[in-house]
A = this chain, B = another copy of it.
Amino acid sequence: MATSPVPQTFKVGLVQMRCSPDPAVNLARAVEQVRAAAARGAQIVCLPELFRSQYFCQTEDHANFDLAESIPGPSTEALAVAAREAKVVIVASLFERRAAGLYHNTAVTIDPEGQIAAKYRKMHIPDDPLYYEKFYFTPGDLGFSAVDTQVGRVGTLVCWDQWYPEGARLTALAGADVLFYPTAIGWHPSEKAEFGAAQSDAWRTIQRSHAIANGVYVVAVNRVGHEGAPGETASAVPTGGIEFWGGSFVCDPFGVVLAEASRTDEEILVVTCDRRHQETVRRHWPFLRDRRIDAYGAITRRFND
């Protein structure tokens, strides 16, 4: 694919979706929405983090490992069909079973021929109340990378990675012109009134900063809707579980938000990116020119104490 000329402009599709308790339903709906995005012109479509299920990391339950699958596996096979039919690249976040007792939070990039072009295993794993990911996911061992696709060179990271400038930088240095962040982030309902606005704004701000620092497009794709803790019934004013805050967005290489989805509803965004604009931004704000690579070595230390 790298032999084809890279297009000056290309369209990215974002599928902001609600996830049901039934993985089969979620896969069918994801495929349907990938097709809908492609019908609107998207050439690469990104799904939210772990879209095949509700966000099971709200509890530590060994039974949830049943949700994992191999890569390639059932999800990538179904998505490969969709990619071929719609002639799109798909970025899909999956719960990967690598071996018994060894699981990852993995994003695959499937090309329009239905092949897995790239695999990224989430490098930074959170562990916070209702986000017990360290119980489920071994931190990635594939590092940060980028891959050539029909829209050019792209890089994928996943959710918690978005808080780390190092991940964005290394993916951009690998040549990515666009960073995709499949995400599952939301408010604890009990905190939302006091902290909610600052939390979602910080989430947007840190990702916009990756665009600015690196001169790349950034595409963040979140899920939406409230998912209650097991045993809890959803109510009009939920007090438990997580209210996923949607707000999927695309920003340009200077951090300007080009499109942003609803906080509450499912939505497909299709946004045009322009490599000439990226070239202009990087010429005028040539941050890559002046990096002090001789002085960054201590980045690999935990703390300089």
Q: Which residues of A contact B (CB under 8 A)?
A: 123-126, 128, 139, 143-144, 160, 163-167, 169-170, 173-175, 198-199, 201-202, 205-206, 208-210, 212-213, 254-256, 284-288, 290-305
Contacts and interface: CB of A to CB of B under 8 A. Distances in A.
B293 A301 contact: yes
Nearest to A144: B295
Contacts of A212: 163, 202, 205-206
Contact of A291 (B164, B170, B174, B256): B164
A270 to B, nearest CB: 23
A125 B292 CA distance: 10
Contacts of A143: 295
A254 B173 contact: no
B213 A163 contact: yes
A305 B175 CA distance: 7
A165 B163 contact: no
A163 B303 contact: no
Nearest to A289: B127
Contacts of A255: 198, 201-202, 205-206
Number of copies: 2
Nearest to A298: B170
9 contacts: A139-B292, A164-B213, A164-B291, A165-B169, A166-B169, A173-B298, A288-B303, A291-B302, A293-B299
A226 B160 CA distance: 42
Contacts of A208: 205, 209
A26 B260 CA distance: 45
Given A123-B295, A175-B303, 18 more contacts: A123-B292, A125-B290, A139-B292, A144-B298, A160-B290, A163-B287, A164-B287, A169-B299, A170-B295, A170-B298, A173-B299, A209-B209, A209-B213, A291-B302, A293-B299, A296-B299, A297-B300, A299-B300
Contacts of A123: 292, 295
A52 to B, nearest CB: 24
Which 6 A/B pairs are nearest by Cβ-Cβ distance?
Answer: A209-B209, A165-B165, A173-B304, A124-B290, A166-B296, A293-B300
A205 B166 CA distance: 17
Nearest to A284: B128
Nearest to A165: B165
B209 A205 contact: yes
A296 B124 contact: no
Contact of A292 (B166, B213, B285): B166
A38 B29 CA distance: 61
Contacts of A294: 300
A166 B290 contact: no
A202 B298 CA distance: 27
A47 B178 CA distance: 38
